[in-house]
Amino acid sequence: MGRAPCCDKATVKKGPWSPEEDATLKSYIEENGTGGNWIALPQKIGLKRCGKSCRLRWLNYLRPNIRHGGFSEEEDRIILSLYISIGSRWSIIAAQLPGRTDNDIKNYWNTKLKKKLFGKQSRRDQRQHQFMRQAAAASDGMMKQEAATGEAAGSSSMAVANYNWHHHHQAMAAVPVQPILGSIMEGHRAGDEVDESIRKLLYKLGGAGPSTALSVPQCVPPMYCGSPALMPPPPPSCPAVDTGTSLDEGGVQGSGVLPALEMDHSFHFNQVKLDGLESFFGMSTDQSMRWSEGDGGTSRCSGICGVRPCHWANGVW
DNA sequence: AAACTACGCAACCGCAAAGAA
DNA sequence: ATTCTTTGCGGTTGCGTAGTT
């Protein structure tokens, strides 16, 4: 038995909205609000539209103070750093950019920003796409682990959503996007721009103490990225997995020193993404982790921890 | 000028979470 | 505690348009 459709697809209108439909929906909501029930709304106002479609139209287009296009450099930076930090959680990213919708940001990322950052090479683009999916899956796994275990008190998503990124990015405003990426690639030097705000955010995201320099092993199964407390014991054959290896000591491309070492946590969280970035820039992949989907959806880490390969599968090293 | 390709954006789809009954 | 409904989200698709051959 299939899933019940949210509306009668035979009678419901699809495709682009007409100005009349827009006007009907807009004027009704402005006068009466949504009534707390999107499903019932279109019938109430005589629109042959699915409730979900109405909601989407309102949120992405008709809502007051919506801005389309014309993303500023600052917005680029915000999107970039949030993407690196939390992945494709567009609604959270949108919450930091007043007037922007998640759909807009998602489209902007997919069509422009990604190319702006990574260049426009189709082969690489494909690899990147694949890598992004894997990275997102890894991030998701981690976030879900946290949610399931009550880590990151108060829910990571909410914490990020409530965080004021403008504050942080005012401090970063002088740094163009490319150099930010560059600094990440060089070992996460963010220089003096890293301020208290991001520390707080990462604390919320990862649950580490606000002044704690995290120590994380270099080879971590995707579902544990960023959650050292949840990790299984290290593989006995993995020399890099000791208790004191933090990223600035060689975690990712080596030697950079981040003033606020709490950043380690965030970057480790996204190490898989950064590894992907390395490959796009033609940097060595020898020491990059390679995530691959195991049989039956099991995530595997085929990491090469410095010297010897280690392997995580099905909950064991 | 026509055919083809790439791009950008709006909208749809399906899943999962949240809330109500 | 369970089931059902609604909402929110992220991924994907489809269409119109601009650019290229």
With a pLDDT cut of 70, the percent of chain A lying above it is 35
Domain-embedded: residue A301:
no
Nucleotide lying nearest to A132, CA to C1' measure:
C11
Domain identity same for A126 and A43: no
State the pLDDT confidence band at A34, using cuts at 50, 70 and 90. confident
- Residues A200 and A178: their CA atoms lie apart, in Å, by 25
DSSP label of A206 = H
pLDDT of residue A73: 87
Q: For residue range A49-80, what is the model confidence (pLDDT) as tens digits?
A: 999 999 999 999 998 888 888 888 888 888 88
Nucleotide lying nearest to A35, CA to C1' measure:
C6
The two tokens of residue A167 are 């504050």
DSSP characters over chain A? --PPPSS-TTTS--SSPPHHHHHHHHHHHHHH--TT-TTTHHHHHT--S-HHHHHHHIIIIISTT---S---HHHHHHHHHHHHHH-S-HHHHHHTSTT--HHHHHHHIIIIIHHHHH---HHHHHHHHHHHHHHHHHHHHHHHHHHHHT-STT-HHHHHHTS-HHHHHHHHTTS-HHHHHHHHHTT---GGG--HHHHHHHHHHH---TT------S---GGGTT-GGGPPPPPTT-TT-STT--GGGTTSSS----SSTTHHHHHHHTHHHHHHHHHHTT---TTS--EEE-GGG-EEE--EETTEE--BBTTB-
- Residues A132 and A126: their CA atoms lie apart, in Å, by 10
Domain-embedded: residue A287:
no
Domain-embedded: residue A250:
yes
Domain-embedded: residue A88:
yes
Phi, psi values for residue A238, rounded to 5°? -100, 100
Domain-embedded: residue A313:
no
**Residue finishing a domain among A12, A43, A65:** A65
Domain identity same for A104 and A184: yes
Domain identity same for A90 and A42: no
Domain-embedded: residue A205:
yes
Domain identity same for A47 and A88: no
- Residues A107 and A114: their CA atoms lie apart, in Å, by 10
For chain A, how many structural domains are there in total?
2
Nucleotide lying nearest to A157, CA to C1' measure:
C9
CA A37, C1' B19: Å apart?
A: 12
Closest residue to C8 measured CA to C1′: A91
Which of A100, A254, A84 is closest to A172 using CA atoms?
A84
Domain identity same for A56 and A183: no
Domain that holds residue A155: 73-282
Domain identity same for A135 and A230: yes
**Residue finishing a domain among A65, A97, A117:** A65
pLDDT of residue A5: 59
Q: Write out which nucleotides of chain B lie closer than 7 A to a protein Cβ.
A: 7-15, 17
Domain identity same for A166 and A57: no
CATH number of the domain that residue A42 is part of: 1.10.10.60
Domain identity same for A230 and A265: yes
- Comparing A204 with A209, the larger pLDDT belongs to A204
Q: Write out which nucleotides of chain C lie closer than 7 A to a protein Cβ.
A: 5-12, 15
Helix, strand and coil percent figures for chain A, each rounded to 5: 50, 5, 45
Q: For residue range A223-261, what is the model confidence (pLDDT) as tens digits?
A: 333 333 333 333 333 333 333 333 333 233 322 222 233
Near strand C (CB < 7 A), which residues? A 4, 6, 15, 34, 36-40, 51-52, 55-56, 88-92, 102-103, 106-107, 110, 133, 136
Domain identity same for A142 and A258: yes
Domain-embedded: residue A149:
yes
State the pLDDT confidence band at A119, using cuts at 50, 70 and 90. low
Domain identity same for A89 and A40: no
**Residue finishing a domain among A65, A95, A114:** A65
Domain-embedded: residue A310:
no
Range scoring the smallest mean pLDDT among A50-59, A165-174, A215-224: A215-224
SS3 label, residue A113: helix
Domain identity same for A9 and A30: yes
Domain identity same for A51 and A77: no
